[in-house]
């Protein structure tokens, strides 16, 4: 394992705190982020235009969320990032592609959750940036195709649906895939005047909350037909993470006080039963949802977003401490491993899928208190990414963050275009296109509130 100084060299690792050139240095960094976005977009335009994802080592492509058909995922995920960076001709080019080519009438099966956070969210944020009604119509068309998935006895959606036929599959679901809809779908209801999108997604969220244990904890697997739990593990990592995020967000975006109460109850229980301090570091352990017994010391990289959420919900001390725990791992490994065990101090999954979560937490903390430390964590995240993930045709995920040099894979996920590039830019640029006081970003980094169109 290499230290941060070893990875970046003294110059790159030096904190950007000096007052004299501080402002200028952050602006320069913002220009660097914007330049990387434009560079990667132009390569995508040249080698993968209209495809879902570019494989940036081989300059080939992969499809997602459909197995054998492309919907333009990267393009849709990138749009509002291009706009907020002022890459206007590229934004228009992308919007033109969507208007002329995006067609969701495909006989194939998609994940309801992934399609919603990435495609519906991407179309809505591009609509927020431009006001173009066609983008809203496309988002609505897609939501109408996903809507039948919610037709279950519990109101929890099936995990998969065929976009053309409406055939559903897999009722064995989880909190994230039940409750990560309301901000996008409530926005859709507000914009279209049709309450169904808001109502079905809110119902699923509330019904899941009602299934909590006596300790106010939720487990990670549940049957959408019977409403029976299929697992006992409570976690804030994958398959649960964004459920808690969207309880808070629904309060933030819509002023939904019941969602805030549900968030507060869940969070109090998580902090009471899952909070573990080890060697001065805070971690959130997986526990049995009925007894509170700690199950293991395994930490999922996806849970590194959670410090930002804790802080947003008022637990600033814990949010900052948790983010520092993950930042400590970033210093140690350069790029976070997908899994880490705080008991052994070893990674349990050595890849990194070009993840945005630590930058996400830093961004949310920085919006709250403007502490330069959070910008610094994001800067280190960005510089490490430039150093380790940049390849000939864009940015790739990593197969092994512990090898020297880090072993690269060959895949740029759609969220890279929507998440970390936007978080870095917003933190470093201080752009007039974004309202830093009143804004809302979804779990996928899509901006549904806070763009200033006139700027």
Site for ligand IFL in 104-133 (CB under 6 A): 117
Residue of 183, 186, 337, 356 interacting with ligand IFL (CB under 6 A) = 356
Q: Is 357 a catalytic residue?
A: yes
Q: Is the Cβ of residue 16 or residue 449 nearer to ligand IFL in the bound state? A: 449
Q: Is 404 a catalytic residue?
A: no
Q: Does 363 engage in binding with ligand IFL (CB under 6 A)?
A: no
Q: Is 298 a catalytic residue?
A: no
Q: Is 338 a catalytic residue?
A: yes
Site for ligand IFL in 200-219 (CB under 6 A): none
Nearest distance in Å: CB 179, ligand IFL: 12
Site string for ligand IFL, 381-400 (x = CB under 6 A): --------------------
Residue of 283, 306, 393, 415 interacting with ligand IFL (CB under 6 A) = 415
Number of residues located near ligand IFL, criterion CB under 6 A: 9
Instruction: Return the HEC string of the chain.
Output: CCCHHHHHHHHHHCCCCCHHHHHHHHHHHHHHHHHHHHHHHHHHHHHHCCCCEEECCCCEEECCCCCCCCCCHHHHHHHHHHHHCCCHHHHHHHHHHHHHHCCCCCCCEEEHHHHHHHHHHHHHHHHHHHCCHHHHHHHHHHHHHHHHHHCCCCCCCCCEEECCCCCEECCEECHHHHHCCHHHHHHHHHHHCCCHHHHHHHHHHHHHHCCCCCCCCCCCCEECCCCCECCCEECCCCCCHHHHHHHHHHHHHHCCHHHHHHHHHHHHHHHHHCEEEECCEEEECEEECCCCCEEECEEEHHHHHHHHHHHHCCCHHHHHHHHHHHHHHHHHHCCCCCEEECCCCEEEECCECCCCHHHHHHHHHHHHHCCHHHHHHHHHHHHHHHHHCEECCEECCEEECCCCCCEECCCCCCHHHHCHHHHHHHHHHCCCCECCCCCEECCCCCEEECECCCC
Q: Which of 177, 216, 241, 301 is catalytic?
A: 241
Q: Does 337 engage in binding with ligand IFL (CB under 6 A)?
A: no
Q: Does 299 engage in binding with ligand IFL (CB under 6 A)?
A: no
Q: Is the Cβ of residue 286 or residue 338 nearer to ligand IFL in the bound state? A: 338
Q: Does 355 engage in binding with ligand IFL (CB under 6 A)?
A: yes
Nearest distance in Å: CB 156, ligand IFL: 18
Q: Does 171 engage in binding with ligand IFL (CB under 6 A)?
A: no
Nearest distance in Å: CB 417, ligand IFL: 11
Nearest distance in Å: CB 14, ligand IFL: 29
Q: Does 443 engage in binding with ligand IFL (CB under 6 A)?
A: yes
Q: Is the Cβ of residue 53 or residue 444 nearer to ligand IFL in the bound state? A: 444
Residue ranges binding ligand IFL (CB under 6 A): 117, 242, 302, 355-356, 415, 419, 443-444
Catalytic residue numbers, as ranges = 114, 241, 338, 357
């Amino acid at each position: 394992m290499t230290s941060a100084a070893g990875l970046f060299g003294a110059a790159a690792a030096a904190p950007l705190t000096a007052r004299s050139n501080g402002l200028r240095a952050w602006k320069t960094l913002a220009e660097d982020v914007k330049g990387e976005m434009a560079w990667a977009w132009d390569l995508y335009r040249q080698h993968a235009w209209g495809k879902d994802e570019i494989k940036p080592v081989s300059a080939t492509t992969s499809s997602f969320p459909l197995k054998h058909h492309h919907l333009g995922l990267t393009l849709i995920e990138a749009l509002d990032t291009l706009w907020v960076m002022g890459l206007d001709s590229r934004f228009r080019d992308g919007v033109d592609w969507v208007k002329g080519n995006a067609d969701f009438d495909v006989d194939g099966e998609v994940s309801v959750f992934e399609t919603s956070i990435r495609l519906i969210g991407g179309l809505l944020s591009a609509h927020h940036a431009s006001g173009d009604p066609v983008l809203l119509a496309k988002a609505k068309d897609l939501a109408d195709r996903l809507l039948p998935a919610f037709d279950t006895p519990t109101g929890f959606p099936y995990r998969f649906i065929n976009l053309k036929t409406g055939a559903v599959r897999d009722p064995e679901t989880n909190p994230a895939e039940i409750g990560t809809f309301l901000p996008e779908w409530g926005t859709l209801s507000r914009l279209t005047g049709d309450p169904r999108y808001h109502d079905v997604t809110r119902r699923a969220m509330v019904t899941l909350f009602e299934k909590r244990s006596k300790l106010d904890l939720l487990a990670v697997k549940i049957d959408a037909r019977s409403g029976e739990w299929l697992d006992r593990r409570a976690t804030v990592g994958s398959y649960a993470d964004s459920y808690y995020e969207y309880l808070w967000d629904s309060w933030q975006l819509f002023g939904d006080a019941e969602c805030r109460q549900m968030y507060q109850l869940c969070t109090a229980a998580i902090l009471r039963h899952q909070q573990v301090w080890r060697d001065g570091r805070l971690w959130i352990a997986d526990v049995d949802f009925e007894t509170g017994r700690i199950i293991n010391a395994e930490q999922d990289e996806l849970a590194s977003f959670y410090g930002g959420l804790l802080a947003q919900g008022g637990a600033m001390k814990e949010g900052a401490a948790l983010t520092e725990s993950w930042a400590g791992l970033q210093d140690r490994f350069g790029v976070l491993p997908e899994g880490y065990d705080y008991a052994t101090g070893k990674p349990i999954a050595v890849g990194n899928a070009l993840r945005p979560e630590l930058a996400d937490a830093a961004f949310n903390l920085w919006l709250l208190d403007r502490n330069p430390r959070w910008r610094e964590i994001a800067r280190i995240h960005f510089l490490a990414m430039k150093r380790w993930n940049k390849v000939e045709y864009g940015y790739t995920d990593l197969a092994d963050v512990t090898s020297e040099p880090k072993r690269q894979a060959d895949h740029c996920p759609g969220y890279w275009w929507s998440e970390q590039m936007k978080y870095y830019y917003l933190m470093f640029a201080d752009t007039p296109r974004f309202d830093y006081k009143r804004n809302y970003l979804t779990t996928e980094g899509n901006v549904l509130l806070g763009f200033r169109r006139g700027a």
